[in-house]
Amino acid sequence: MIFHSIDFLIFLIIVFMVYWQLPNNGQKVFLLLAGYIFYGYVHPWFLILLLASTGTDFFAGLAISRYNHWKRAILFVSLSFNLGLLSVFKYFGFFTQNINWLLNVFDLPTVQYAIMVTLPVGISFYTFQSISYTIDVYRGRIVSCRNPLHFALYTSFFPQMVAGPIERAQALLTQLESRRRFSPRQIQDGLFLIIWGFFKKLVIADNVAPIVNNIFQLQSPPFFVLWVGAFAFTIQVYADFSGYTDIARGTARLLGIELTINFNHPFLAHSPPDFWRRWHISLSQWIRDYLYIPLGGSLCSPQRYFFNIMVTFFLCGLWHGASWNYILWGLYHGLLITGHRLMSVLFTGIAWPWRMPLALKRLFMFLFAMIGFLIFRETDIAHLMRDFSLSPLNDSFQERQYALFLFVKVATYGLPLWLHPFFAQKIVPCFKENRRQLLKSVIAVLLFTTTLLLRSHVTVDFIYFQF
């Protein structure tokens, strides 16, 4: 079931109305059933994998707490099972194709396989969320959950199970275990987030998507048109993914649950590390805590630091998809991070060019991110090499005019994304609490009306559903 569908809106209304009529334990059982209906609505067999992962990690957590001398082996079993699911359903074909390519190079017999399965929606998200639970129990950061209902609800909480945020048990499981109370203020804030999320998805992302698709379908795109396409995709992917997150957080808030903030105005980032503190925050923190720091983090030699960063971002890229462009995207950001650290050391105490104005830093970081999203979008490596070989000198006057027209169109759609931080950080805090809520209500009505009037006639799935 997808958020931007009539089915989901009906589903959400029914869930909301029934949920707040039930006692605490009834709410939990009802939410669990709602989560399974939501996830198995189109492909019921997806539930088999979800239930298998849930059962494995629930009993793994109990076993780690009870059998301390076996906890390393138990954790290994849990990780092997979850990562095995990812490997089979998401990476089996990719790895086999690359092994066959290598075998062909040496003129050796290739591997024959006939496994063709549908990638379960959200498998990367809920497996990472489940993995974090067992690791935290292993490290002694949390106590293992003794109630199978609570843990099953933690892994199947429908607002965020498909595309995040990737929640930690310490935050989400604690809320699910406790009693929730109906709060009109929380309901109002939740509705505002949902409307803002639908606006970003239906008005911004879905209106920009056809421009992106048309440009990247060109066999020989002009230089400026191609880079307008990269700019448009940067707008699309942010509006699409953050729009999903806002709808998820708003939906959870309607049910009395607070989810992690997954985006913090990433287009205002002034450096590569700052970008990853603002972009897909739940994944950034996950790979920091469960991969980067265990590898040694930054408290090591420069050579080891470079290794840790590149391995971390290699796996971050691979997490996004079984394709070389995602791996290259991850390695690109790894190089940006290490390059930024090197520049910080080299230009310490030097006023120029390192200490440039903040606005200029933000502009450069946006351009670096846009280059990365070109790599992210271009799944064909040959096309990617062609893209970076294009010259602006070969574009005709008409092609430049067309590129300018598309740029203005995309920038107009994306303007609310830049106005939002100014509104949220400068305008809203100037009002007192009661007037602040009134202002948000007025803005919500305007956003809702604008969405009805300007929404794209052709909608596409959320981009991060494929991960």
The whole-number pLDDT of residue 359 equals 87
3 state SS for 117-136 = CCCCCCHHHHHHHHHHHHHH
pLDDT of 316: 92
Residue 112: the pLDDT is: 65
The pair of three-digit structure tokens given for residue 315, joined into one six-digit string: 């796996």
List, for residues 225-263, the tens digit of each pLDDT value: 999 999 999 999 999 999 999 999 999 999 999 999 999
pLDDT for 97: 72
- Does the annotation count 320 as an active-site position? yes
Tokens for 35, please give them.
């989560």
Q: What is the pLDDT of residue 301?
A: 84
Please give the backbone phi and psi of residue 369, each rounded to the nearest 5 degrees, phi first.
-65, -40
Catalytic one of 4, 320, 333, 383: 320
Going from N- to C-terminal start, the domains of the chain cover 6-180, 185-466
pLDDT at 60: 93
Distances in Å between the alpha carbon of 307 and those of 290, 297, 321, 416?
16, 10, 22, 39
* Residue 416 preceded by cis peptide, ω within 30: no
Instruction: Quickly tell me which residue has 């909301």 as its tokens.
Output: 16
Query: Which pLDDT value is given to residue 428?
Result: 72
Q: Is 403:228 a contact under the CB 8 Å cutoff?
A: yes
- Which among 69, 84, 61 is positioned nearest to 138, based on CA atoms? 61
* Cα 219 to the center of its chain, rounded Å: 30
pTM of the predicted model over 0.85 = yes
Number of continuous H segments (helices) and E segments (strands) in the chain = 20, 0
The pLDDT score that the predictor gives to residue 356 is 78
Residue 425: the pLDDT is: 75
| Nearest-angstrom CA–CA distance, 467 and 463 | 8
Q: What is the pLDDT of residue 324?
A: 87
Residue-by-residue DSSP string for 41-92: SS-TTHHHHHHHHHHHHHHHHHHHHH-GGGHHHHHHHHHHHHHHHHIIIIIH
What is the structure's pLDDT at 406?
95
Low-confidence ranges of the chain (pLDDT < 50): none
Q: What is the pLDDT of residues 399-416, one digit of tens each?
A: 999 999 999 999 999 999
